[in-house]
Structure 1
Amino acid sequence: MDRGDVDKQSDKHIVATLIEERAANLIQRPLWPLYRSFLYPILKYRSAIRMADAIAPMSGVDALEHVSDLLTLDVTTTDLEKIPEKGRVLIAANHPTGIADGIAMYDALKKRRPDVIFFANRDAVRVNERFNEVLIPVEWVEEKRTRERSRETLKATKEAFTEDRCVVLFPSGRLAFMDENKILTEQEWMNSVAIFARKYDCPVIPTHVQARNSWLYYWFWRLSDELRDITLFNELLNKRGKPFHMTFGDMIMPEELRGDPNEVTLALRQHTVDNVTAGRPWTPIK
């Protein structure tokens, strides 16, 4: 039976498992079956199952291609030529929509850098084991992190940089939110972006992604973290034909990222969000 058919630790489909893990409190409520009956159609549950079943037996690249073909995103770029055609490079990007950001980035880069690999939620590997060919699995939920999973991530990271691949990282690990003024706001970044660049002597390309989620997502964000989180498949599948614009900034060499990793990361986040689209240069931390 394909990986996408069921979660191997239960009889549930992996899509149901991933949704319910994100709704741990909701599913304990007596009315959960009622909630589920009207939420699942809104969340494109059946479409998500069909997608998961289709990609489960595929190679990592073929699975990405399948989702890319399914979504047919309208991806445009500015300064794509700033991405070197070969050699080690780390692309650090803001994270406006979720999984679709990765698909859009793949569409933008696949011809120029067919060796591209992404840091991504390790749940993807639960849908398709061969996603580890194109993804570096990361456990974003701190309570679920184990030594074994951390070693897995570090090993895959070392391999990707040693092989001089094009590595894509969304350093926030969390989606942007709509603030009270209805301005899309990038979450804080983890300092791994600065640490990896220095440890592996790797240049960084700051990249601004222009896109957004549905109003349903931002409404759910204000109502409940769990309601927000269970929209993951809807906020992927509802992007069919939607526009994504990537602006690639000037390359920042690792020696330009000296200083306290937290301060460097804060400055790199601000630069990516505010300066890249305006063409302003990177200013190293003094």
Structure 2
Amino acid sequence: MEAKVTIGIPGRWQSWPDLMQEVAEKSDGYVLAGHTLYDTKRELGFGLDVYEHDPHLMEAFTYASRTTLPQGLLEELRQHACTVYVTAEVGSFEGLQRLVEAGAALLRAGGMAVLVETAALAHTKDAWEELLQEDELLPFYAAFVALSGDEDGYSSCGMKAFGLPDARVPATLAPEEAVVVLNGFNMYRIADQPIIEDGQTVSFDDDSSYSTHWTEDDRYETDHAFYNPFGMLWVEPVQHGIWGRMKGMLKN
């Protein structure tokens, strides 16, 4: 199974011909053909849609960046003429690298910034360009996977980009512990690619163990950008020495 991951890139392109010309001249090997952004070097196509000016786009970027984007960029985003949305069926590290390259091509052609629609994460041009130089998993994980919490627990959003279920931990964990467990468990699954069956107990550090339970992703409707078709893995601590050690270090 593969899942669709979508990124949005606003720009000042005033028309379709303007966008086509800028991409052809400045993207270094990409062209627009109908509703496809085509990588002529690798012979890969990405789904493409263009939407006119969105008066709420700046607010979306502000939320997705957790208010870390420079104010100057936010003001620039207010002046965008349209937003180009690129969709790829990924599910692997290599697939994400190709999508990042496609996004960078649009940035070179006049794009302002990147919004990962499938996880509500915003990135500046410079941050996105830095991903092109990365061959490690962690920066890509941070770029495509977000964490959030509610009264029922804490969960990740965006693991479908790696072809994996999202993870959820109970609200009984402290927020700091939830972050450690979710990130550790997710990176363990991406890097080691273990086969985790429903009801299995797993360990991804020296002396911690967790029971797992698979469910459908019932947080969102199936057509929602955040919905994960691979489902959700509930992660319940059985023995969590990693957090105990960290708390001991903090006390000292």
* Structure with the bigger percentage of strand: 2
Length-normalised TM-score, structure 1: 0.26
- Tell me: higher relative CO, structure 1 or 2? Use CA pairs within 8 A at least 6 residues apart: 1
Length-normalised TM-score, structure 2: 0.28
* Structure with the bigger percentage of helix: 1
